[in-house]
Amino acid sequence: MLLDRTSGMVRSEASRWSVVARRVMWVAFGVVLASALAGCIEDPKRDILDPVSDSADISAYMYNLLLAVCSVIMVIVAAWFTYSVVRFRKRPDDDGELPPQIHGHTQLEVAWTIIPTLIVIAITIPTIINIFELERRPGEGEPVTKIEVIGKQWWWEYNYKDEGFMTANEMHVEVGTTVQLEMTAADVIHAFWVPQVTGKRDATPGRVYEMFFNVREPGEYIGQCAELCGSSHALMGIKLFAHPKEGPNSYAAWVASQKKAAEPPRSPEAQRGKELFMQKGCMRCHNISGDARTELHPKARRRETGPDLTHVGSRTTIAALTLKNTRENIARWVHDPQSIKQGALMGDPRFNTVQVSKEEAEAIASYLFRLK
């Protein structure tokens, strides 16, 4: 029992719970409204109902099929229910007698067993067909882009093994060419998901799961790690660029630029940045190819190894979409990664006790940002 301070009356436990329940409802309402608004302003969008690949078509088709079937059922049930409530409501002349009961009515029982079974079968058949369709491997001789994907706390490593380079978070593929992801994880379970392009699939330590897709529209698609993987899980974004087959923005042009060794520094400040990069031991965790002194030996790769920085300046974002890629943001990140991404393995005292002053970070940023 509680004493209500304004009225001095004793309030029951029940009314206290109703106050709590009302507050919970308001909070829930706020959360729903905020996420709906967030959905409105999002650009570019991440919408499974606007698929741009064969794989996402399947997910959208299954979603729409289930929505249609369930909507029909809902309308029938709701209409029948409303009709019954109105038609059989209690009237003033009600004599209190029970209406005829249907317990043990054989035809009805058979009907409500068979109809749901048919509905479930109708949903199961396309589901099974589509599961096989999603797993279908590309045919012999069909060109395939193979990308090894490694989920790490809290970013994505992409290894274009056939081409011989690595990149991070921003995946590039070619429109019309089947992409084969070979997904695993270095630490905990993550999940790769670009709603307009792929289904959701776990990246699990010690296992390799494949995923296939073929994008049909050039563009930029946003994704997100979809498996709670620790404190900065929400800052583990994905960007997928689908390049046309031809032209200056073609996939081949992107691959050619990524295969090049890193640009040597051009300005004195960038030169100093490169020296600081080496002095501070950044290449313990980062590779910059083209100079043995900034290269990370492939055998030295560990769980805490960070993104390949050979072409870090060519990315549009850094730290898995946490920051826009600008010179200033690289400097901010290098100076104090922990304040930007809590728990990031860079700047974690267990692996890295190197302190980089603001001014040093700026020199390093001049070097890194030019690595286009």
Q: How far apart are CA 275 and CA 316, in angstroms?
A: 25
Identity of residue 13 = E
> Cα 205 to chain center, whole Å?
18
Is 315 among the residues that bind ligand HEC (CB under 6 A)?
yes
At residue 297, the 3 state secondary structure works out as coil
Strands 219-224 vs 237-243: parallel, antiparallel or unpaired: antiparallel
With CB under 5 to 8 Å by kind, the binding choice for 233 among ligand HEC, Cu ion, none is Cu ion
With CB under 5 to 8 Å by kind, the binding choice for 318 among Cu ion, ligand HEC, none is ligand HEC
The count of chain residues that interact with Cu ion, using the rule CB under 5 A, is 5
With CB under 5 to 8 Å by kind, the binding choice for 306 among Cu ion, ligand HEC, none is ligand HEC
Q: First CA to last CA across the chain, in angstroms?
A: 68
Would you call the peptide bond into 244 cis, given omega within 30 degrees of 0 as the criterion? no
Is 319 among the residues that bind Cu ion (CB under 5 A)?
no
With CB under 5 to 8 Å by kind, the binding choice for 334 among ligand HEC, Cu ion, none is ligand HEC
Which residue pairs from 284-291 have beta carbons closer than 8 angstroms and sit at least 24 positions apart in sequence? Answer: 284/352, 285/345, 285/346, 285/351, 285/352, 287/166, 288/262, 288/371, 289/165, 289/261, 289/262, 290/261, 290/262, 290/264, 291/261, 291/262, 291/264
Query: Residues 282-301 vs ligand HEC: string with x where CB under 6 A?
Result: x-xxx---------------
Q: How far apart are CA 60 and CA 50, in angstroms?
A: 8
Instruction: Concatenate the DSSP letters of all residues of 36-94 into one string.
Output: HHHHHH-SS---TTS--BHHHHHHHHHHHHHHHHHHHHHHHHHHHHHHHHHHT---TT-
For residue 174, what are its two tokens? 């070619």
Is 165 among the residues that bind ligand HEC (CB under 6 A)?
no
Q: Which of 168, 185, 215, 225 lies at the binding interface for Cu ion (CB under 5 A)?
A: 225
Site stretch for ligand HEC (CB under 6 A), options 124-132, 175-183, 250-258, 306-314: 306-314
Is 233 among the residues that bind Cu ion (CB under 5 A)?
yes
Give the closest residue to 157 by CA, choosing from 127, 180, 183, 137.
183
Q: How far apart are CA 127 and CA 130, in angstroms?
A: 5
Q: How far apart are CA 298 and CA 192, in angstroms?
A: 24
Is 203 among the residues that bind ligand HEC (CB under 6 A)?
no
Q: How far apart are CA 169 and CA 149, in angstroms?
A: 10
Is 238 among the residues that bind Cu ion (CB under 5 A)?
no
Site stretch for Cu ion (CB under 5 A), options 122-130, 182-190, 238-246, 280-288: 182-190
The count of chain residues that interact with ligand HEC, using the rule CB under 6 A, is 31
Site for ligand HEC in 342-361 (CB under 6 A): 344-346, 351-352, 354, 356
At residue 137's C-alpha, the angle toward residues 139 and 125, to 5°, is 120
Q: Which of 364, 366, 370, 371 lies at the binding interface for ligand HEC (CB under 6 A)?
A: 364
Site stretch for Cu ion (CB under 5 A), options 17-25, 58-66, 219-227, 298-306: 219-227
Is 332 among the residues that bind ligand HEC (CB under 6 A)?
no
Taking the complex as a whole, the smallest distance from the CB of residue 243 to ligand HEC amounts, in Å, to 19
With CB under 5 to 8 Å by kind, the binding choice for 173 among Cu ion, ligand HEC, none is none
Site stretch for Cu ion (CB under 5 A), options 134-142, 230-238, 260-268, 337-345: 230-238
Is 200 among the residues that bind Cu ion (CB under 5 A)?
no
Strands 144-152 vs 178-185: parallel, antiparallel or unpaired: parallel
Is 147 among the residues that bind ligand HEC (CB under 6 A)?
no
Is 185 among the residues that bind ligand HEC (CB under 6 A)?
no
Using CB under 5 A, list all residues that contact Cu ion.
190, 225, 229, 233, 236
Using CB under 6 A, list all residues that contact ligand HEC.
154-155, 168, 277, 280, 282, 284-286, 304, 306-307, 309, 312, 315, 318-320, 330, 333-334, 341, 344-346, 351-352, 354, 356, 364, 368
